[in-house]
Amino acid sequence: MTNRKIGFIGAGKMGSALMQGIIKAEIVPPENIGASDVYEPFLKELQAKLGIRVSTDNAVIVRESDILILAVKPQTLGSVLADLRNEITSEKLVISIAAGVPLSTYEGALLEGTRVVRVMPNIAATVSEAASGISPGKNATPEDVKAALEIFSAVGTAVQVPESLMDAVTGLSGSGPAFIFPVIEAMADGAVLEGMDRKSALTLAAQTVLGAAKMALETGMHPGELKDMVTSPAGTTIQGIHALEEAGIRAAFMNAVIRASERSKELGKK
């Protein structure tokens, strides 16, 4: 990967987060990264900060790159693909992070034989803790999948899934951070109600979520087992668990993932 050139079409929050992660992980040097965007002042900031190449012309970045990362919004993707159709050859790997857009859209809009990998990362890429699902298109090679996994593992954790599950990835990890932020806020509110200052409450709530997630990932234990480790008979924790179960916490979170997944499917049909 070190000698390959990576180009970003779109340099917003997700795109710039990926650039920083790639550079930090030393996947490629900064001079091997290019980015295009319509907002030139932000491009100049990125260039000064990261040492990457920039242009307001998408075609320039495409020509200079071996791997293209399409980091544009789904509603603008169609026009971008149409403009770049003749610039993107089969020698280039195309990686898209547009939510809900199926592989068939890219394979239909681009030249025959174009290698495409669809990825659904999440906003935690900005702190190098993203959870990303990766699905290869019909022309993608095992080396293409390996490259995508390497890039997105630089900003968190990445797993390969069949495309039929990409909407579930969108509902789970793509939308998931937004489901957890209210949990952190609500837990902190409870502590504030008990007399704790807001700053301390938010710090402890956020660290509690981070620590619990790390235990689940690093121990490999079932969440139920981990819960039981904290829940002693007639103790404080079981009282809290009972309150959560009374409020229907499991169904609420399941429904949140299901609804978000269904919306992803709807977006993919437009």
Instruction: Map tokens 């242009």 to a residue.
Output: 55
* Residue 11 is assigned to a ligand binding site: yes
Q: Are residues 225 and 145 in the same domain?
A: no
Would residue 257 count as lying in a domain?
yes
Closest CA to 113 of 132, 92, 139: 139
Asked if the model's pLDDT at residue 183 lies above 90, the reply is yes
- Total domains present in the chain: 2
For residue 1, tell me if it sits in a domain: no
Residue 58 is assigned to a ligand binding site? yes
Average pLDDT, integer, range 48-62: 96
DSSP string over 25-88? TTSS-GGGEEEE-S-HHHHHHHHHHH--EEES-HHHHHHT-SEEEE-S-HHHHHHHHHHHTTT-
Mean pLDDT of 69-93: 92
Select the more confidently predicted residue: 178 or 264. Answer: 178
Confidence of residue 254 (pLDDT cuts 50, 70, 90): very high
Domain end, chosen from 163, 187, 207, is at 163
Point out the domain boundary residue: 121, 140, 163: 163
Q: What is the pTM of this model?
A: 0.88
- 10 known member of a binding site: yes
Asked whether residue 14 is marked as a ligand-binding residue, the answer is yes
pLDDT at 222 over 80: yes
How would DSSP label each residue in 214-240?
HHHHHH---HHHHHHHH--TTSHHHHH
- Is residue 152 very low, low, confident or very high in pLDDT (cuts 50, 70, 90)? very high
Q: Max CA-CA distance within the chain?
A: 68
151/190 same-domain check: no
**Same domain flag for 153 and 107:** yes
Same-domain pairing of 27 and 138: yes
Whether 71 has a binding-site annotation, put simply, is: yes
pLDDT for residue 35: 97
Domain boundaries, position 114: 6-163
Residue 56 has pLDDT above 90, yes or no: yes
Mean pLDDT score across all residues of the chain: 94
Q: Is residue 72 part of a domain?
A: yes
Mark whether 136 and 195 lie in a shared domain. Answer: no
Regarding predicted confidence, which is higher, 80 or 2?
80
Average pLDDT over residues 126-139: 94
Per-residue pLDDT tens digits for 5-31:
999 999 988 899 899 999 988 999 999
> Which domain-ending residue is among 134, 163, 192?
163
Is residue 155 one of the residues assigned to a domain?
Answer: yes
Two structure tokens written together for 179: 């489901």
Residue 223 lies in a domain: yes
The answer to whether residues 197 and 154 belong to one domain is: no
Using CB atoms within 10 A of its CB, is residue 246 exposed (0-12), middle (13-18) or buried (19+)? exposed
Q: Is 9 a known ligand-binding residue?
A: yes
Shared domain for 134 and 12, answered yes or no, is yes
Q: For residue 105, what is the domain's CATH number?
A: 3.40.50.720
Q: Establish if 189 belongs to a structural domain.
A: yes
Is 172's pLDDT higher than 70? yes
Residues 30 and 55 both lie in one domain? yes
Residue indicated by tokens 């293209």: 68
> Which residues, in sequence order, are bridge partners of residue 120?
133
Q: Are 21 and 154 members of one domain?
A: yes
What pLDDT, on a 0 to 100 scale, did the predictor assign at position 165? 96
pLDDT of residue 270: 67
Q: Is residue 80 part of a domain?
A: yes
Is there a single domain that holds both residue 146 and residue 186? no
CATH number reported for the structural domain that contains residue 242 in this entry: 1.10.3730.10
Q: 170 in a domain, yes or no? A: no
Whether 267 contacts 74, CB under 8 Å: yes
23 and 137, same domain (yes or no): yes
Q: Which of 98-107, 152-161, 212-221 has the lowest mean pLDDT?
A: 98-107
Parallel/antiparallel/unpaired status of strands 67-70 and 33-36: unpaired
Do 233 and 104 fall within a single domain? Answer: no
